Structure formats: C-alpha cells, structure tokens
Amino acid sequence: MTLEECLEKKLIKKDNNTFERINGSLKVSRHFLERAEGSFNIDYYDTSYLMSYNS
C-alpha cells in the first residue's frame, strides 16, 4: 500500500505540528542525557543507564 492510499483510507493522517513536537522531544532528550551524565559522575550507573535509555 502506498502513502497516498493510506491517506485516502484514513489509516494515517498528515500532521502539521511535526516540527514543534520534534523540538519538544529533543528538549526532553537533552534533559534526560544531562541527568544521565550527572548520575554517571556520582557512580549511579543503573540510574544513568535508565536515563540514557529514556532519552
């Protein structure tokens, strides 16, 4: 099935706010990576791993 067919059948829809959500997601990811680095620096490796994964 092509993209156009999926759009016609309303299986998917175009999203006009994609770039706004991408920027929000990147901001959250940066936050988690900063927290992961901080956790790593104080030897909380399990927390660091989880924060990195969540980013």
Q: Is position 48 within any domain?
A: yes
Span 2-27, average pLDDT: 88
Span 5-14, average pLDDT: 90
Residue 29 CA to residue 32 CA, distance in Å, equals 5
Q: Is position 38 within any domain?
A: yes
pLDDT tens digit sequence for 38-54: 989 998 888 888 888 87
> What is the Cα gyration radius of the chain?
18
Q: Is position 37 within any domain?
A: yes
Looking at residue 44, what is its pLDDT?
Answer: 82
Q: Is 17 helix (H, G, I), strand (E, B) or coil?
A: coil
Domain that includes residue 51, residue range: 18-55
Q: Is position 39 within any domain?
A: yes
Q: Is position 27 within any domain?
A: yes
Q: Is position 25 within any domain?
A: yes
Span 19-26, average pLDDT: 87
Structural domain count of the chain: 1
- Crossing angle for the helix pair 45-54 and 18-41, to the nearest 10 degrees: 170
Residue 17 has pLDDT above 80, yes or no: no
Q: Is position 51 within any domain?
A: yes
Q: Is position 24 within any domain?
A: yes
Residue 9 has pLDDT above 90, yes or no: yes
